[in-house]
Structures are given as C-alpha cells and as structure tokens.
Structure 1
Amino acid sequence: MTRAVRFDQYGDVDVLRIDDVERPSPAADQVLVEVVAAGINPGENSIRSGLLHEMWPATFPSGQGSDFAGRVVEVGGSVGEFAVGDEVLGWSDWRSSQAEYVVVPADHLTRKPAALDWIRAGGLFVAGVTAYASVRAVQPKEGETVVVSGAAGGVGSLTAQLARNTGAHVIGVASGANAAWLRSIGVTPVAYGDGLADRLRAAAPDGIDAFMDTYGQGYVDLAVELQVDPARVNTIIDYAAAQKAGAKAEGSSTASDAEILAFVAGEVAWGRVLMPIAAIYPLDSVREAYTELAARHTRGKIVLSTELAANAGRVS
C-alpha cells in the first residue's frame, strides 16, 4: 500500500485527505514513478470546488495533481526510453500526481537535468508549459513592449522571463512588494490597482504590442482599452473575456508536450529562467498548501514534497 491525496465530493480544502491505496502498476506503454515532489496549481482548487464541473467533471473518489518529479521504479514491457533509477519529471492527465507513486504514459516524461533541483522539477509542468504557450500565442519580438499580469506568480514569473528572453521589453503587473524582484529579472514593475491603465501608458509611451494575462479579473478588457490587437492578447484563465474580445486563450492543454517541458526544464536548470519557490509542504499538509495558494499573493510556486516529514510544516 502507498499514500495519495483523495476527495469524495466537491468542496473547500477540508474535503481533502490522505488515503492508503494500492500501489499502481504500469501497463505496457507506461512508467511507474516514485514521486519526490508534486506541484499544486490554481486550477486544481477550481476543479475540487466544482467550479469547472462542466468542463472537467470529477469522478469520485478523485485524486489530485498534474505536476511531479521522481525516480522510475518500474517500466512497462514496450517502454525502451526509460529505465529503473532514471530521474524524471512529467505530468499526469488523471489527477494522480499528489501521491507517493504515480503511473503515466512514457511520453508524459522527460529526464530531469542534473542541475535542476527536485522541488522546481516537481512544480514545473503546469506553470512551465502554460507560460510557454502564452508567450508562443502572442509571439513577442525583439524591441517590442509586452505586458504580463500576475507577473510574480507561478505562471506569470516564468511567462515574463520567457518573453524577456525573446528580446522584448517586458512590463510586469504585480504588487509593489514584488517590484524589486521583478527588476532583478529584467522586468519593469507596475503596481496593480486603481489607475493601472494610466501607469501602463506611462511605462509604455509608444504603446503595448502584446498582453499576456495570467491572473484574470478584467485584464483582457484592460488590454482592449489599451488598444492592444486582440490577436496578440492571451489569457490563461478568463475564457469568457477572450471570446468576447476575440483574444486568445492558450494554456497548458496546447503545450502539453515532453519536448516543450524538456526545453523549459533546461532553461530553469541553467539559470536562463529563474523559478521562485514560495513554499514547500509535506504531502500530509496538502490542505494548508491549497489554503495558501488560494490567497493568490505568493511569489512563485507552492510544491508538495513526499520527502518532508509529516510534521515538518511549511518550509519557505
């Protein structure tokens, strides 16, 4: 037997629990991984609460989680590209990564670069490929000015840096507390709140060429107000606003690819993109981890670790 996060009904974090379950076994084209770290993401809060039932209904009892990194412990008979002992990162399509063991198709994995630590590897998939998709959707070019909302968050911080690496001038919308950090990664900070449109106009006197929204709550409408071409506006969360404005809504589902994940992992491993970690929690503290995430004020990712003791509490 092994342990995994489960819930039996839609609700707040108090529906989450840790269950003893049978260790999964890989089919011919699958790989069994012993999980070291698993990321958590805002979408999982929405799925668990039932807000996304029409799009992604849960089947109970439901597991949870997509991101993970760990060590291969068993491979299916037709798998030739991985072997027992390999260090990997990847994703699950079956809401099952927040567990001590996860089984996934071999094409959902890539090797973990030696220079990439377990925590960042375990929290990389959703944020990394979503950021990649967002930048790809608006195609920033050298010398252009682009805006990223939620620029200090798990997805936003990676989005801002991938856009910066194209040679574009990146303006990051975030709280004032994150201004110094954004400057340190080559992003111009602009504080959110009343008067934001005027502050963005002042920061980009020649206009804004593209807008990447990683936060929701009106940023697509703001981009339209700032006369950004809707074809160069992308949101990863506000689908209704995107449809109304004719903007794009490309996210992880359009970039769930092992080669893309390998590219982003390499960028983080070698320091071309910095991936801030807001907090690490033991698997048993999954409720506390999602409570912190729901506050939406973290800089970077929150990650669960199976190697932290159950009573370790939050590690920052």
Structure 2
Amino acid sequence: MRAIVQKEFGGPEVMQVAEVERPVPAGGELLVRVKAAGVNPVDVAVRAGAFPLLGEPPFTVGWDVSGVVEEAPAGGRFRVGDEVYGMPFFPRAAGAYAEYVAVPSRQLARKPVTLDHTQAAALPLAALTAWQGLVDAAEVGEGDRVLIHRAAGGVGHLAVQIAKARGAYVIALASEPKHAFLKEIGADEVIDYRTTDYTEAVQDVDVVFDSSSENTRALKVLKPGGTLVSIMEHWDRELAAAIEAAGRRFAGIFVEPDYASLEAIAALADEGLIRPHVAQAFPLAEVGKAHELVASGTVQGKVVLTTD
C-alpha cells in the first residue's frame, strides 16, 4: 500500500510517498481502507519535531480517518463494507496518512451518513477536542454563555456548533474577515480580537474555551463558578491552581479516542447541527502542500488528504 513516510524531522519535504506493507489487524481490530485523512496542527508539529509524540523517525503521522471496513472480526461491532470514522490510538502512532490502517473497533464509530468521507475525516480530532471540553468537562447547556477563542479554526468552528447545539449563547473571537462565516454557523456574537480587548467587551461568561494560551485573562470574563477549558495548557498545574483559587473551575483537555462521543457527534451531523468546513482537500501525494497550508495558521476550518 501507499503511505506517507518520513525518515527525519524537518519541513514538509521530508514526507514522501512510499510503498509499505499493509497492516495486519490484531484481535479485536479492523482493517480500514482509508478514503480520507484529516490534517491537524499537531500533525505539523510532530512532523517538524516540535512535539515529539512519536519519538524518532521513521514514522507516518496522522490520526483522523474516514474509510470503509475491509476486514472485521466475526460478531463484532462492524462488518465488512461499513463506513467508519475516528481518531485511533492518539497520542500514539496511528499512521493515518496511508491507504489502510488497522484500528481497535471501539475507537471508531459509523460515519455520519450525511457527510462524505472528506467531510467526515475533518471531524474526529477537532470535534472530539471540542466535545470533551464543552460537553464532558464543562457540561455546557441551555442558556450558558460560552466564549470561544480561534473560533474559525479547525477545533473552534466545531466548538461553536457544538455549543449552539447544546443551547448556549456563543461569543466567538476571530479576525474580521471570518465574522460572516462564524455568524453563518451559529455564533451569536463575534469579536475581532485584533481591534477589541475581549476582556473589556465581554462579561458574565459561564465557559471560556481557550485554544490560544490566554491563561488567567479568562478570570476577567468568567463568572464565579465558571469554567476555563484549556486545550493548550492541560498540564499547567500553576494555572489550574490560580483559576481554582479565584473561585472558577479549570479543565485541561488532552483529546482521547472515544467511540461514544463520535457517535454523538455523528448524530448531530446527521441532524444538520454540525457541519465541518473543509477549506481544501489534497491528494495523498500532495501532503506537503497540505502541511504548508495548515502551518500558515490562516485556515478557516480543516484541511484533508484523500487517497483516491
């Protein structure tokens, strides 16, 4: 099979298409024919060596997958031909930039029927991050006021939609050119962080969803008892202690595979309440271009690789 392999850390050019052995599923695993693989900022950081989750190369990066079951154990959750999606093994190697992956069945869910594989591959890591922060940790519900940083990005635009689906009032932070997009996907209020100090424009927030290392600035807008969800500072004990000492809650999120949450996300997608925005899709061989685009920091939504 074809896979993207790198033998050293470096720029996008270190990733090369290679012919490798097709993985053999172990007990309880599925063999999935990958139709599309999402590209996330963590992929870029791992490739460059800035976030060495996978140790030293050689390896294949990527975690988001959407595809079709090619082999399945008898009597299991899935059958051959089922369309599935997920974020297997994170933070260990999944090798998603490839034509096939072997995956534990309970790390996958059925693909939303209303989405194609390219759209579905844009969901797992970003949507699970938002879900585990907003739903599992902060328990966002009807009438809650939720402030979302980097709201037009891969995680952010899904966080906006998940919060709205839960009945929240959503305040989105993004540059002005992205405001129309954010209002279209449900944001109630949009603030240009480049021209406005949100800590002066916003108050009485129940939840701050922070993907920008804003740290204790959240205290200026959070209600007593409110929750700071941080997806960047999840190991920062000093930050957690400062937030807790101020009478607020701290939730550090490091995303995990979770088929039950994937099923809930798929249900919202099929109800029309979540729609991933794919900024651009590239064929597998153009993985370098995909990484360059993600690394630019300007992407609205997600970037995806396709294998067909």
> What TM-score do the two structures reach when normalised by structure 2?
0.89
Cross-structure match for 2:247:
none
Is 1:13 equivalent to 2:12 in the alignment? yes
Give deviations 1:120-168, integer Å, cap 9, x for gaps: 1122110111110110222233223210001111110111111122222
**1:224: Cα distance to partner?**
2.5
Cross-structure match for 2:299:
298
> Share of identical aligned residues, percent?
33
Decide whether aligned partners of structure 1 residues 91 and 239 sit closer, same or farther in structure 2, where only a CA change above 3 A counts: closer
In 1, the alpha carbon distance for the partners of 2:182 and 2:277 equals 11
In 1, the alpha carbon distance for the partners of 2:304 and 2:15 equals 16
* Equivalent position to 1:223, from 218, 221, 242: 218
Decide whether aligned partners of structure 1 residues 113 and 161 sit closer, same or farther in structure 2, where only a CA change above 3 A counts: closer
Secondary structure at the aligned position of 2:252 is classed as coil
Question: Does the 8 Å CA contact 1:38/1:69 hold for their aligned counterparts?
Answer: yes
**1:228: Cα distance to partner?**
5.0
Of stretches 221-230 and 7-16 in structure 1, the one that deviates more from structure 2 is 221-230
Is 1:269 equivalent to 2:270 in the alignment? yes
Secondary structure at the aligned position of 1:34 is classed as strand
Decide whether aligned partners of structure 1 residues 30 and 189 sit closer, same or farther in structure 2, where only a CA change above 3 A counts: same
Question: Does the 8 Å CA contact 1:160/1:172 hold for their aligned counterparts?
Answer: yes
Cross-structure match for 1:311:
none
Cross-structure match for 1:166:
166
Is 1:34 equivalent to 2:37 in the alignment? no
In 2, the alpha carbon distance for the partners of 1:287 and 1:164 equals 35
In 2, the alpha carbon distance for the partners of 1:166 and 1:28 equals 37
**1:195: Cα distance to partner?**
3.5
Question: Does the 8 Å CA contact 2:207/2:222 hold for their aligned counterparts?
Answer: no
Give deviations 1:170-198, integer Å, cap 9, x for gaps: 1000110111111122211111125323x
Secondary structure at the aligned position of 2:167 is classed as coil
Cross-structure match for 1:84:
80
Cross-structure match for 2:253:
250
Decide whether aligned partners of structure 1 residues 91 and 166 sit closer, same or farther in structure 2, where only a CA change above 3 A counts: closer
Cross-structure match for 1:233:
228
Secondary structure at the aligned position of 1:274 is classed as coil
In 2, the alpha carbon distance for the partners of 1:105 and 1:140 equals 30
Cross-structure match for 2:208:
211
In 2, the alpha carbon distance for the partners of 1:189 and 1:127 equals 21
In 2, the alpha carbon distance for the partners of 1:265 and 1:251 equals 21
Cross-structure match for 1:196:
197
Q: Which runs of 5+ in 2 are unaligned?
A: 244-249
Cross-structure match for 1:181:
181
Q: Name the aligned partner's letter for residue 65 of structure 1.
A: G
Question: Does the 8 Å CA contact 1:44/1:64 hold for their aligned counterparts?
Answer: yes
- Count of equivalent residues: 295
Q: Which runs of 5+ in 1 are unaligned?
A: 308-316
In 1, the alpha carbon distance for the partners of 2:267 and 2:39 equals 21
Cα RMSD for the two superposed structures? 2.0
Question: Does the 8 Å CA contact 1:47/1:58 hold for their aligned counterparts?
Answer: no
Question: Does the 8 Å CA contact 1:210/1:229 hold for their aligned counterparts?
Answer: no
Cross-structure match for 1:66:
63
In 2, the alpha carbon distance for the partners of 1:227 and 1:84 equals 49
Question: Does the 8 Å CA contact 2:46/2:61 hold for their aligned counterparts?
Answer: no
> What TM-score do the two structures reach when normalised by structure 1?
0.87
Q: Name the aligned partner's letter for residue 55 of structure 2.
A: A
Q: Name the aligned partner's letter for residue 248 of structure 1.
A: A
Q: Name the aligned partner's letter for residue 34 of structure 2.
A: V
Decide whether aligned partners of structure 1 residues 75 and 82 sit closer, same or farther in structure 2, where only a CA change above 3 A counts: same
**1:240: Cα distance to partner?**
6.1
